[in-house]
């Protein structure tokens, strides 16, 4: 089985693939203070709870936007599973030309999600990832990564209101009953929820205008499931898009090596 790690700023998504099938996935908190031993014990316990053994792992691949944790997860793969993982980055074949001015600046998760989305839906394509930051990634009809946009995630926006104002509270992010709030909490929820939908909708419009094509829109990420239902332009929500992309990239590089 293949072990795939998507190391994000807030959570680490872990997936187990048997062939092309994702048989199990977990999400754990990203913690740069944890050692490889701690991560290893946590992962082995999660696998044991699902009656899965370390000996079943035959390969591993990592996508990481948290550089200090990349060698930690690599050590977990070597120590606990006896495998040297592939790491998405320079030297690894993705099958997607990157037309960014400085390709090394593009987050590994953005490329990985784009690879999976293009494989499943074709292009032109806009890939929306509602994570710690919300990213818009654009793929051409030929499967080229063209670039995109980055905005603060909805959770960051809510936290900024709490931290940078004297009287606004920390709130739960959810859809309010009305746009016109009658309390401070309801007013904040309205601004965050409906305002975020408006921002995403306008960004999709602007990107499509520049492309000159009705690009399909695919969403992923923590808040994607909730917000995708509110934005008609989003055609599909794929919660495991980055993990699927990691499996595709792993297979492409394994085939090249073979």
Catalytic residues: 109
Neighbouring residues of 101: CB distance < 8 A, sequence distance ≥ 6: none
In angstroms and rounded to an integer, the radius of gyration of the C-alpha atoms of the chain is 19
- Per the CB < 8 A criterion, the answer to whether 234 and 217 are in contact is yes
Neighbouring residues of 96: CB distance < 8 A, sequence distance ≥ 6: 111, 114, 115, 118, 139, 143, 144, 145
Per-residue b/e over 84-94, b at no fewer than 16 CB within 10 Å?
A: ebbbbeeebeb
Which helix H or strand E contains 146, and what residues bound it?
A: strand 145-152
What's the CA dihedral at 41, 30, 78, 24 to 10 degrees?
70
Tokens of residue 164, six digits: 């940078």
- Per the CB < 8 A criterion, the answer to whether 24 and 15 are in contact is yes
Q: What whole-number distance in Å separates Cα of residue 201 and Cα of residue 119?
A: 24
- Residue 27's CB: how many other CB atoms inside 10 A? 14
Name the nearest CA neighbour of 157 among 197, 114, 108. 197
């Amino acid at each position: 089985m293949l072990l795939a790690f998507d190391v994000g700023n807030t959570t680490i998504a872990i997936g187990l693939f048997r062939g092309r099938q994702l048989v199990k996935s977990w999400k754990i908190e990203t913690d740069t203070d944890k050692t490889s031993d701690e991560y290893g014990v946590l992962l082995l316990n999660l696998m044991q709870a699902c009656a899965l053994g370390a000996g079943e792992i035959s390969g591993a691949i990592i996508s990481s936007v948290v550089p200090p944790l990349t060698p930690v997860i690599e050590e977990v793969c070597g120590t606990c599973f006896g495998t040297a993982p592939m790491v998405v980055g320079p030297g690894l074949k993705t099958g997607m030309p990157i037309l960014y001015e400085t390709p090394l600046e593009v987050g590994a998760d953005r490329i990985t999600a784009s690879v999976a989305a293009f494989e499943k839906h074709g292009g032109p394509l806009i890939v929306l990832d509602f994570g710690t930051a919300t990213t818009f990634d654009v793929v051409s009809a030929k499967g080229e990564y063209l670039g995109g946009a980055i905005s603060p995630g909805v959770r960051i926006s809510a936290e900024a209101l709490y931290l940078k104002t004297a009287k606004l509270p920390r709130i739960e992010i959810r859809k309010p009953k009305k746009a016109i709030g009658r309390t401070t909490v309801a007013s904040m929820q309205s601004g965050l929820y409906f305002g975020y939908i408006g921002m995403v909708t306008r960004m999709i419009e602007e990107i499509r205008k520049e492309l000159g094509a009705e690009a399909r829109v695919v969403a992923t990420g923590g808040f994607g499931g909730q917000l995708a239902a509110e934005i008609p332009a989003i055609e599909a929500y794929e919660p495991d898009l980055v993990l699927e992309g990691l499996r595709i990239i792993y297979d492409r590089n394994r085939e090249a090596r073979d």
